[in-house]
A and B are shown apart, each in its own frame.
Chain A
Amino acid sequence: MQKTKPIIELDDAGKTYQMGTVEVPALRGVNLKIHSGEFVSIMGPSGSGKSTMMNLVGCLDLPTKGSIYLDGQNIAHMSESKLAQIRGKKIGFVFQKFNLLSTLNAWENVALPMVFQGVPKDERRTRAKKLLSNVGLAERAEHLPGELSGGEQQRVAIARALANDPEVMLADEPTGNLDSKTGAEVIDILQNLHKKGKTIIVVTHDSAVARFAERTIHIKDGQVLKEVINGGGKK
């Protein structure tokens, strides 16, 4: 399984929130390695520190202790702008609520991450439309998110996550707002991406979803409870 160097590594990474005078530890020193090309799921009940972990793994937040390495670089003390730049290039996010910008149409949403990487406009359009056709939405490219179904919106979100061809795709409850059929389609797309070599990390509380990953990391009370190998992520 450990084919290559870790793309993401948490080294005793912890996060404590300051709530007034009270310190609330959300994550208490986690060690975790995710290798390039892996399909990993992170599972845990709400309040387990799962979201905090996703934020740290996705470089959306910085740890209050320990280190996080993204592609060998310690991000724990990086400036926010540097972090944003890296995040935009190396990580693609898929959220439970799709999080598309309502004022932009499908292809513009997909093209948005490229704006912040300075990709020229024509190239952005071409790439965005190609990514949309990869998820079967070529016909819907000019539609606003409000005109798309939930499943379509999530596919647009996946296309957007792939805009800058990131090494890691991080999905937070990607099927949480979808019915089981469209949810299965989304899982399908993620599996295909995995087959093409993308590193996929899915955060979920749904064991049926978590099962599709090669490896499931169970979180409880801000700590890794156990790791389970799922046998290759077969459907």
Chain B
Amino acid sequence: MIYDYFDMAYRNMRHRKKRAYLTIIGIVIGIAAIVALISLGTGLQNAVEEQFGKLGADSIRVVPGSLRGPPVGVTGLTTKDAEVIDGIHGIKYITPMLFLNEQVEYSGGKAFVPIIAYPTDNAEERFSDFDVSFYSGRPFTGSDKKGVNIGFKVSKEAFDKELSVRTKLRIKGEAFEVVGVFGETGTSEFDNNIYMPIDSARDLFDKPDEVNVILVRLDEGAVSEDVAEDIIRALKRSRGNENFDVFTPEQILDQLGAILGVVRLVLAGIAAISLLVGGIGIMNAMYTSVLERTREIGIIKSIGARKQDIVIMFLIEAGFIGLVGGLIGAFSGFTLSYLMGVAANYAGYSLLKIVFDTELILFSISFAFIVGIVSGVLPALRAASLEPAEALRYE
């Protein structure tokens, strides 16, 4: 019996093809927007998490107090703090970093390029932990007092002429030689900066004991929360204040996740509006259909269709529109977001990692079906409540 209703719904839609298509398009747009925007949001989150993983899931960041943004120019931590941390159990090595901004000169051109300074020891290990490879050249070592590494984009885009190994730059009037160019990582953290040995930076910028961030690499098997607590305790004791923050990867991921969650929710909310419009479209089409088929409803009532039969017939039709719209919408939405991911990658922003999310697809298809059914309820009830004698008279 239900099969017969499906059959009739299908025929009715075929009979009014254009309207069926238009109504379906309304749902397709709504669902495609939802799926695409959620996929993009998730893709962004995936990419961020992955890039964060590159920075080291088994690392802890220690920063000056009340600092959440980029730590350029903020003082607070010192080399003494770095020494204190270095002595804590469970730590493989630490990377005290200085963030600087200075005009860099090359072949007559000038550009402001962010400079990050780190120690020269453990360089190989550090870069491999960060998952950074070398496009050409090598990491700087203790003997490279005037050697720098540069990010991939710095080499290509910072100046009119491309920078490569053995290129000479002038920073604050002093000559530095490029000893290595990083491979492209897709993160601004590594692609857009110049990297300098920290001792050279201290001399050049006259910052003998300042540290902007201390990156702590954990021993294998060390529990980040425990080490973080030890760091906090040790720093409190040595500094005599709490003017610093210690972030574990979990905390940072949680914060990022919360922010991206809100972003996704807002995107989905915006898309939901278009689905609502699609639902109203179904309702409108169904009302029109009820009106057009008044006589037909009278006929099938006269030959024995009960109220519930009519309701089911109309609900199936509305649900069918929703379902078809949902199917097409879900897959075109995913395709759209996938293409945007590909385009973004192609343009050099590996900030989108679009993954086929079966749950999202199934959820959005069922959601479209439900929207269809819900939109069909009122028209279906209207159809069912028609008086057969009156409906038969309708021209």
Chain A contacts to B: CB under 8 angstroms: 55, 58, 60-61, 80-81, 84-85, 87-89, 93, 95, 99, 101-104, 112-113, 115-118, 121, 160, 163-164
Number of B positions contacting A (CB below 8 A): 25
Closest A residue to B390 using CB positions: A61
User: B264 contacts which chain A residues (CB < 8 A)?
Assistant: none
CA distance A58 to B8 in the complex (A): 26
CA distance A163 to B387 in the complex (A): 23
| Residues in B lying within 8 Å of A, measured CB to CB | 1, 3-4, 8, 11-12, 14-15, 295-296, 299-309, 387-389, 392
- Structural contact, B304 and A80, CB atoms closer than 8 A: no
Q: If the complex has contacts A61-B387, A89-B304, A95-B392, are A101 and B4 also in contact, measured as CB distance less than 8 A?
A: no
- Cβ contacts under 8 Å, A87 to chain B: 302-304
Are A81 and B308 closer than 8 Å at their CB atoms?
A: yes
* Chain B residues with CB under 8 A of A102: 15
Contact, CB under 8 Å: B302 / A115: no
Question: Which 9 pairs across A and B sit closest by C-beta, in order of nearness?
Answer: A88-B304, A81-B306, A116-B304, A55-B389, A113-B303, A61-B389, A84-B306, A60-B389, A103-B11
* A93 to chain B: closest residue by CB: B302
* Measured CA separation A117–B305 after assembly (Å): 9
Do residues B306 and A116 form an inter-chain contact, with CB atoms below 8 A? yes
CA distance A55 to B15 in the complex (A): 30
Residues A81 and B302 in contact, CB atoms below 8 Å apart: no
CB-nearest residue of chain B relative to A81? B306
- Assembly CA distance A164 to B305 (angstroms): 13
Question: Which residue in B8, B295, B307 is a CB contact (below 8 Å) of A99?
Answer: B295
Minimal beta-carbon separation of A222 from chain B (angstroms): 16
Flag if B388 contacts A61 (CB, 8 Å): yes
Say yes or no: A112 contacts B11, CB within 8 Å. Answer: no
A142 and B322 CA atoms in complex are apart in Å by 31
Q: By CB atoms of chain A within 10 A, which of B12, B301, B307 has the most?
A: B301
In the docked arrangement, what's the CA distance between A121 and B2, Å?
11
With A80-B306, A81-B308, A88-B304 already in contact, 6 other A-B pairs whose C-beta atoms are closer than 8 Å: A55-B389, A84-B306, A87-B303, A89-B304, A101-B296, A113-B304
Residues of B within 8 A of A58 (CB): 302
Q: Report yes or no: B302 in contact with A60, Cβ–Cβ below 8 A.
A: yes
Q: Indicate if the CB atoms of B301 and A84 lie closer than 8 Å.
A: yes
Given A99-B295, A101-B300: A115 and B4 interface contact (C-beta under 8 Å): yes
Determine how close the nearest CB of chain B comes to the CB of A153; give it in whole angstroms: 13
A80:B307 contact, CB within 8 angstroms: yes
A102 to B300, CA, bound (A): 12
Q: Name which residue of chain A comes closest to B385, CB basis.
A: A80
Centre residue among B296, B306, B387 by max chain A CB count within 10 A: B306
**Which residues of chain A are near B14, meaning CB under 8 Å?**
103
Collect the chain A residues with CB atoms within 8 Å of residue B305's CB.
84, 88, 116
CB pair A103–B12 under 8 Å, yes or no, is yes
Residues of B within 8 A of A99 (CB): 295, 299, 302, 392
Partner of A88, one of B1, B295, B303, B389: B303
Whether A84 and B307, one on each chain, are in contact in the complex, defined by CB atoms closer than 8 angstroms, is: yes
In the docked arrangement, what's the CA distance between A112 and B5, Å? 11
> What residue of chain B has the Cβ atom nearest to residue A88's Cβ?
B304
Q: How far is the CA of A60 from the CA of B386 in the complex (A)?
A: 11
16 A/B residue pairs, CB under 8 Å, sorted by A: A60-B392, A84-B306, A87-B303, A88-B305, A89-B304, A95-B392, A101-B299, A103-B12, A104-B8, A113-B303, A116-B304, A116-B306, A116-B309, A121-B4, A160-B303, A163-B303
Q: Give bound CA distance, A103 to B17, whole Å.
A: 12
Specify which chain A residues have a CB less than 8 angstroms from the CB of B15 in the assembled complex: 102-103
Residue of A nearest to B13 (CB): A103
| A89 to B12 CA separation, bound complex (whole angstroms) | 26
